[in-house]
């Protein structure tokens, strides 16, 4: 009987959607939608920081209503190269954000993912690379975790998600 109850409990627990965002009902948003304005169909300006962000993680494409496809993970060196190539492709200055810049996107009232999902839909609830290397260990760099709004350092050879940023210009 105990085995049957345990098996049922495990099955029920596994059937819940673990990727659904959870937010505080009465919390004060840290990244309200009003802080963002459209630059292009696939990028938004975060007005408090004057930074333009790609709406989708690298590997995903904006389809007009959401980010489609699978986000791709890169090593830190690959992420830096990817940003360089994106910048050369359209000459807009895309780059890997530093830890403070990426942390400015964290929605502290939410988890799984800890980001404004109206502005940045389908964001993987996981680590994202920053350009900030560890001051103590040359083999590690900072990541921001959009699972729970934390940040930490990871080995540069690990595979982690990427979201590119650029400085806003009034062209």
**Model pLDDT, residue 25:** 86
pLDDT digits (tens, 9 = 90+) for 85-125: 998 888 889 999 999 999 999 999 999 999 999 999 999 99
pLDDT digits (tens, 9 = 90+) for 152-165: 999 999 999 999 99
Instruction: Check residue 54 and report its DSSP letter.
Output: E
CA distance 39 to 94: 14
Comparing CA positions, the residue from 135, 152, 134 lying closest to residue 143 is: 152
pLDDT digits (tens, 9 = 90+) for 134-144: 999 999 999 99
Q: How far is CA 125 from CA 35, 141, 146, in A?
A: 21, 19, 5
- All domains in the chain, ordered by first residue: 29-167 (3.10.100)
């Amino acid at each position: 009987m105990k085995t049957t109850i345990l098996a049922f409990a495990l099955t029920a627990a596994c059937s819940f959607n673990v990727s659904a965002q959870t937010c505080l009902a009465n919390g004060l948003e840290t990244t309200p939608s009003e802080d963002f304005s459209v630059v292009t169909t696939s990028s938004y300006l975060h007005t408090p920081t004057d930074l333009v962000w790609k709406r989708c993680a690298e590997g995903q494409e904006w389809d007009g209503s959401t980010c489609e496809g699978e986000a791709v993970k890169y090593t830190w060196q690959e992420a830096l190269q990817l940003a360089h190539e994106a910048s050369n492709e359209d000459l807009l200055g895309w780059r890997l954000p530093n830890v403070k810049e990426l942390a400015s996107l964290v929605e502290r009232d939410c988890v799984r993912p800890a980001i404004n999902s109206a502005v940045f839909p389908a964001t993987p609830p996981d680590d994202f690379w920053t350009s900030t290397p560890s001051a103590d260990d040359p083999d590690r760099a900072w990541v921001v975790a959009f699972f729970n709004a934390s940040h930490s350092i990871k080995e540069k050879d690990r595979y982690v998600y990427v979201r590119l940023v650029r400085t806003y210009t009034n062209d």
